[in-house]
Structure 1
């Protein structure tokens, strides 16, 4: 029996690492012929990734799977903003780690040559942000695939953005501060330019983005953390004969209870949060959480607090301290020592029976809890999939990157979310922050918490589909099978 080894290299950020590790688990559990090696690079965007990668010991992983932490490269900064002014830090990291990739893969190669029982390298799977590693795959003469931790709609956005630039000669910087709407094949409705990722209004970033997209089309295939029934329009738009084969293999979400040991004080916090939820009625709690980079100014926190106090709904609010700028770079948000320093005076006392304010949140466990009825979210792709998977309707409040496109798709294309403020922007390098008033927040909370709403009904239906698609007979199950056969065809 031929045996194959697949090498996975995620981007050094929590959401990307977790998703690609889960894909690797799926592959090896699905087919006995496959082995998987995941290389994790440091430094990381999110310090919790170090704890997470350390938790991936042999006892927690399936047979035939291993995780290798690459040594730290001291010369590269340990912190970076989600939308850096340039991406040279990641380019430097990739270049610095290529020798380690080649060293480890050479060992696998040598082993397979010495022993016919050992697996042959059948392919590399690179996160979208580390396709600069493709040189290493090409050097070994091994096909490489891309894994997108974003959805199919964003892949389609990237590809059409390139068409606008390369084939239609559009000056894309002209759309900055524009009310224009453009048609993108991967979206069912015209997308307002003000919902594009903000970095795409800078000429140098457009150039980098276009070049990145061109490289993407060289891949043997594109794995996407999505499922056909959820993004049918987007997935179908990518079957155009020009794009590499697309393999929807999701929804890949963290398992309930997976993140309990990320922090030393987390077990106490976890128990406290879950016990509080246990005391609440079904579907009664509005959960607010805006990702590892989600934070707000004191003025905006005051508006949110007023909305929660006057909405009439129970709430669980993950409130983080804003990023601190150090040497021109933004460090990730941290937890408050004391919430009194940011919340309106008396807020905690007045809401003690209806709500709870927390720092770090075990998001998957919370969304899976029957007491949770709504989710105010930044619409990061992992959070979007988690909300769908656990059937919790979203109040969309995107902050940066492709989150605005995700929010648009959820609210306008799919009807699985309601809007708080879709064109909200947050600048990590200065204090320019739009303000969302408490009235708009209350309106969205009331809509998302409405028990008999069409949105809630649609989310519950999609939740049921999301559970079935990864099982035998499901679309993602079949897609994964096609991917495995393609990988197996790469070895002699």
Structure 2
């Protein structure tokens, strides 16, 4: 499930760059990165190579829609052949790794065809590859073409520092992070001011089946020419200043956001979104808590009921994006319920009809931008985090998988931009988590994040203002983007 960028040779002296990486969440910020580059420097041209996994049908449909969009006039999209290899009973981490590896021949063929299709090679050159954070195996393909590789790291600088540090601990000190699973150990990591609890480390470092695969692609991070990070100096200054000289140059060029939002392909999302915004228009200003947990954020029936009980007890206005889990033992994106009453407590919808609304898919950007929204109960995915920061909406943390736990830790403990509902809730891709967050715990978090005069709300307002300035001329991300382009142009083979 991967995406990528690459570019058609259109104008004289137009270098071309390539992107590869997983899932719609990564693809969305990758597209914003491409738009930023071509709008900043007309010498650059980009093509995005999009890889899909069998279970990620929405990404394939999204890719086809992009290829037909007006954007394709400046940024070309190529959907690579899907890998249908039967990898047997491979665990999710191994399956994903094998699927990416199987795409190398397709990537090589696509780039070769694009290079050969250029009618005037002397006026346009292949400048390099930009790969997704999970696709370091594509460095081999870039090397075959004799061009440098850059990485686009779609998470924050704190998480980048964490993974580099844990890899160094393993390689130089033989520290096996899988021994920290279920441990109360706290780690001193130079990219964070506070000690980091082992319980917020991503499972890919804690599970024995996943850790060797994770280390395999992390070991190649230092081979890239530079790392482009979707963050900004004013947000993660400590982490950014902590990168050492032996780390590839880090370029914080964010926040990279699609502020126009994304309607869900083939879902009827446009009409649904209009209905949601109409409901928000009827709510008092800064009165609604929004609950949304990402494309894979679903819960067991018992946990859904605890959330419902908490919303009733808190008596706040709410908008809740509730998604249906995929079938057990199946890797898939969450879907909408056909009948919400089958999972909610009896009578809940009637009792809360005056103050709340339960929905499926949510037009998140449009919702967060609305003046009725006062707080966001979030899984702390990095895109969602940056969107919340941009619109100045305080967060209540409920991470579920991937790097979301370290994001939550950073938001609460390092930056003071969020309150904690939980930081150690985890859900396996193939089975339900046994942990249950109580309604009392949820109520405490909601009431805290809804406080109108809190220090968190003041800090969030200041960070929102910063996030809107950094990409304008003279801003920190604007300057780093210029340095990146200079480096690309200087290193064209």
TM category, shorter? over 0.9
Q: TM-score, normalised by structure 2?
A: 0.93
Q: What runs of 5+ residues in structure 2 fail to find an aligned partner?
A: 1-11
Question: 2 CA distance for matches of 1:186 and 1:85?
Answer: 31
Secondary structure of the corresponding residue to residue 467 of structure 2: helix
1:151 aligns with 2:156: yes
Hey, what does 1:296 align to over in structure 2?
A: 299
Residues 226-375 of structure 1 correspond to what in structure 2 (within 5 A)? 226-238=231-243, 240-256=244-260, 258-260=261-263, 262-325=265-328, 328-375=329-376
Equivalent residue for 2:110, pick from 74, 85, 104: 104
Secondary structure of the corresponding residue to residue 220 of structure 2: helix
How many corresponding residue pairs? Answer: 482
Secondary structure of the corresponding residue to residue 487 of structure 1: helix
1:168 aligns with 2:173: yes
**For residues 48 and 153 of structure 1, do their structure 2 counterparts lie closer, same or farther at Cα, with a shift above 3 Å needed?**
same
Equivalent residue for 1:22, pick from 12, 22, 32: 32
Secondary structure of the corresponding residue to residue 116 of structure 1: helix
8 Å CA contact retained: 1:387, 1:394: yes
Secondary structure of the corresponding residue to residue 102 of structure 1: helix
Q: What runs of 5+ residues in structure 1 fail to find an aligned partner?
A: none
Question: 1 CA distance for matches of 2:217 and 2:80?
Answer: 24
1:190 aligns with 2:195: yes
Equivalent residue for 2:79, pick from 45, 58, 69: 69
Question: 2 CA distance for matches of 1:399 and 1:136?
Answer: 34
Hey, what does 2:221 align to over in structure 1?
A: 216
Query: Which whole-Å deviations, capped at 9, do the CAs of 1:378-415 have from their partners, x for residues lacking one?
Result: 11111111110111000001111111100000000000
8 Å CA contact retained: 1:320, 1:334: yes
Query: Which whole-Å deviations, capped at 9, do the CAs of 1:399-455 have from their partners, x for residues lacking one?
Result: 111111000000000000000011112233333421111111111111111111110
1:442 aligns with 2:439: no
CA RMSD of aligned residues (A): 2.0
Secondary structure of the corresponding residue to residue 431 of structure 1: coil
8 Å CA contact retained: 1:44, 1:50: no
Question: 2 CA distance for matches of 1:60 and 1:113?
Answer: 24
Question: 2 CA distance for matches of 1:449 and 1:200?
Answer: 34
Query: Which whole-Å deviations, capped at 9, do the CAs of 1:80-128 have from their partners, x for residues lacking one?
Result: 9xxx8353333333333223322232233334574433x2110100001
Question: 2 CA distance for matches of 1:101 and 1:330?
Answer: 25
Question: 2 CA distance for matches of 1:376 and 1:324?
Answer: 25
8 Å CA contact retained: 1:29, 1:62: no
Secondary structure of the corresponding residue to residue 126 of structure 1: strand
